[in-house]
Structure 1
Amino acid sequence: MKAIARSEYGSAEVLNLEEVDKPIVSNQGVLVKVYATSVNAGDWHLMRGTPLITRLIYGGLRQPKIKILGFDVAGRVEAVGNDVTQFKPGDEVFGDLSECGFGAFAESVCAAESALVLKPNTISFEEAAAVPGAALPALQGLRDCGHIQPGQKVLISGASGGVGSFAVQIAKVFGAEVTALCRTEKIDKVRSLGPDHIIDYTQIDVTQSGIDYDLILDAAAYRSVFDYFSILKPGGTYVLVGGSIARLFQILLLGSLISKFSRRRVTTLVSTPNQADLQILKDWLASGAIAPLIDHIYSLDELPSAMSKLEQRQVTGKVVVRV
């Protein structure tokens, strides 16, 4: 089969279209013919091997152990192992493979049963592939870290990105009053997500707006958490979901200390893909409560270009690859 593979860390130039062996289904595995995948920040961190902790977690200090990247997947079940009970050949599925070996940048991949759910028949494979790696962090960041409640004022920083675009929609599902933060040229697309308010950060400094928020979900993280304290209510919560690695380590190292002395809860999300949350997203997708914002659809051989575009932060919503 064809796959986008690599044998070293580096830029998108290390990604090559190659002929590789088709995976063999295990007793607990589900063989999926991949119709679509998408690229995420996690993919390019693994591609480059930065920060160093990614090499420690996934193995391969000098050379990567994961040859085929990609964890968002949507496709059709080709075969199932003897112990699989939830799926059968022909089922249309989507899911997150980050806990079961990656490998979605290929024509076929073997996945754990627990990594998949049935795809709603109301959405395309391309739309389904845009969901897991972005919508799961958005859901878990708002619900599990932010403890979002109906009627709260919620600010989504980085609202035009993959995670941010889902966070705007999911916060609305939870009944919050949502303000989306983005730059001028992305306002029209962000408006289509249904926020109550939009702030153009190139024109208005949100920290000087005079509006207080109960919850700030930061999917961009290019400003220090301390900058947001002027608009975060005492007892409010700041959740870091994506963006600058420096900001991530700031929260990991100092979050509990900042929370103790600021009277504001400061935390970062460690996303945990699971079938129950995928099922929640599936139901919302089927009902039309949420929908992916897709920037562009590439072919498999164009995947390195898709990765470069994502790394250069030229994306609004998600970049999808049709396999």
Structure 2
Amino acid sequence: MKAIIYRAYGQPNVLEWVDDWPEPVVGPGQVQVKVRAGALNPKDVLLRKGFFRSFLRVLDRESLPRVSGLDMAGEVVRVGDQVRGLEVGQRVFGMSNRFHGGVHAEYAVLEADEVIACPEGLAFTEASAIPLAGLTALQALRDCAGVQPGQRVLINGASGGVGHFAVQIARNLGCHVIAVCSERNLKFVTDLGANEAVDYHQTPAPAIPGPFDVVFDVFGNYSVRDFSNSLSRGGRYVSTIPSSRSLPAEGLARLGLHKRSRLVIVHSNRSDLAVLRQWANEGKLRVHVDQIYPFYHAEDAHRHIETRHTRGKVVMEATC
């Protein structure tokens, strides 16, 4: 089958579009999907560069070559034993919990709990843009931050893939949203529902007057200490970027010892995908796709997302 692979870590030119990759076999509790579109995320770039190489070595999953990609949308073509609620021909979207991904190919196998029926009326390109970024925003705000209606939430990096979903999800959860982005995206985030929009060139996120109940630092540019003057008592800082600071803090939080600084570690599951799908069906979660590339232009798509100036999502589309 056709697949986007890389045989070595490095720059976007290590990516290859091959047509002789082995087709994955469906096991019990799994489904095989004919992939119609797949979104790109910063994690895809980090994996390709070898950022998580040591971690994958510990998991004994560091071997190359490897198929890239973490989330997708397409049609179910095979259903494994013990699978309920999914059938051949169904349009689905979802994200693989395999740390290294492996779904940007002609066919992908995922656990049944990692996919769900697509939102009504969305193209495959739009549906594929939701899973990883939408789940990250939902789990960061609802689970890590524990947001409550009426709270003030600052979102740093509000116009990107995770950020543009976070603005909408925070509003859906009843929060007052302060969105931080570049000047060109101020209207974009306001149209998404932000109550206030701030140009970070004029006022960096830590300099914005608080108090904030939650700071969601999508870009991971800062730490909880940078917001010591603006976080409210009991407020929480949430990052998406694993680092020497965020990982130990998350370990303490999971032990119940310290919850002021959290690291969201996204997990794909059908119940959370159902929340995102419902909001999309109700018009409460809109997808903005910045640009669509064919799968065989994966190198260009990766270069696009590496600019860190994407508005919404970058998506790749199957052409056959």
What aligned pairs does 1:138-157 form with structure 2 within 5 A after superposition? Answer: 138-157=137-156
Cα–Cα, structure 1 residues 25 and 251, in superposed 2: closer, same or farther, change >3 Å?
A: closer
Q: Which moved more, 1:152-161 or 1:223-232?
A: 223-232
What is the distance in 2 between the residues matched to 1:256 and 1:300?
38
What is the distance in 1 between the residues matched to 2:163 and 2:148?
18
What TM-score do you get using the length of structure 1 for normalisation?
A: 0.90
Question: Equivalent residue of 1:79, what SS?
Answer: strand
Match of 1:49 in 2: 50
Match of 1:12 in 2: 12
Question: Equivalent residue of 1:217, what SS?
Answer: strand
After TM superposition, give the deviation of residue 162 of structure 1 in Å. Answer: 1.0
Residue 26 of structure 1 pairs with residue 27 of structure 2: yes
Identity of aligned residues (%): 35
What is the distance in 2 between the residues matched to 1:141 and 1:44?
21
After TM superposition, give the deviation of residue 322 of structure 1 in Å. Answer: 0.8
Q: Can you list the C-alpha shifts for 1:276-312, whole angstroms capped at 9, x where unaligned? A: 1111111111111111221111111111111122123
Residue 225 of structure 1 pairs with residue 224 of structure 2: yes
What is the distance in 1 between the residues matched to 2:283 and 2:247?
35
Match of 1:322 in 2: 317
What is the distance in 2 between the residues matched to 1:291 and 1:122?
12
What is the distance in 2 between the residues matched to 1:51 and 1:188?
36
After TM superposition, give the deviation of residue 126 of structure 1 in Å. Answer: 0.8
Match of 1:292 in 2: 287
After TM superposition, give the deviation of residue 207 of structure 1 in Å. Answer: 3.0
Q: Amino acid of the residue matched to residue 116 of structure 2?
A: V
Question: Equivalent residue of 1:273, what SS?
Answer: coil
Match of 1:278 in 2: 273
What is the distance in 1 between the residues matched to 2:119 and 2:189?
24
Q: 1:302 aligns with which of 287, 294, 297?
A: 297
What is the distance in 1 between the residues matched to 2:252 and 2:29?
44
Q: Amino acid of the residue matched to residue 152 of structure 2?
A: K
Q: Amino acid of the residue matched to residue 317 of structure 2?
A: R
After TM superposition, give the deviation of residue 205 of structure 1 in Å. Answer: 3.5
What is the distance in 2 between the residues matched to 1:238 and 1:96?
25
Cα–Cα, structure 1 residues 26 and 181, in superposed 2: closer, same or farther, change >3 Å?
A: same
Check the 8 A contact 2:287/2:312 in 1, yes or no: yes
Q: Amino acid of the residue matched to residue 15 of structure 2?
A: L
Match of 2:90 in 1: 91
Match of 1:187 in 2: 186
Q: Amino acid of the residue matched to residue 210 of structure 1?
A: P
After TM superposition, give the deviation of residue 117 of structure 1 in Å. Answer: 0.4
Check the 8 A contact 2:97/2:267 in 1, yes or no: no
Match of 1:136 in 2: 135
| Cα root mean square deviation, aligned | 2.1
Check the 8 A contact 1:100/1:111 in 2, yes or no: no
Aligned residue pair count:
313
Match of 2:200 in 1: 201
Cα–Cα, structure 1 residues 6 and 175, in superposed 2: closer, same or farther, change >3 Å?
A: same
Q: Amino acid of the residue matched to residue 262 of structure 2?
A: T
What is the distance in 2 between the residues matched to 1:313 and 1:202?
15
Cα–Cα, structure 1 residues 123 and 272, in superposed 2: closer, same or farther, change >3 Å?
A: same
Match of 1:79 in 2: 78
Cα–Cα, structure 1 residues 149 and 25, in superposed 2: closer, same or farther, change >3 Å?
A: same
What is the distance in 1 between the residues matched to 2:221 and 2:99?
31
What is the distance in 1 between the residues matched to 2:171 and 2:52?
33
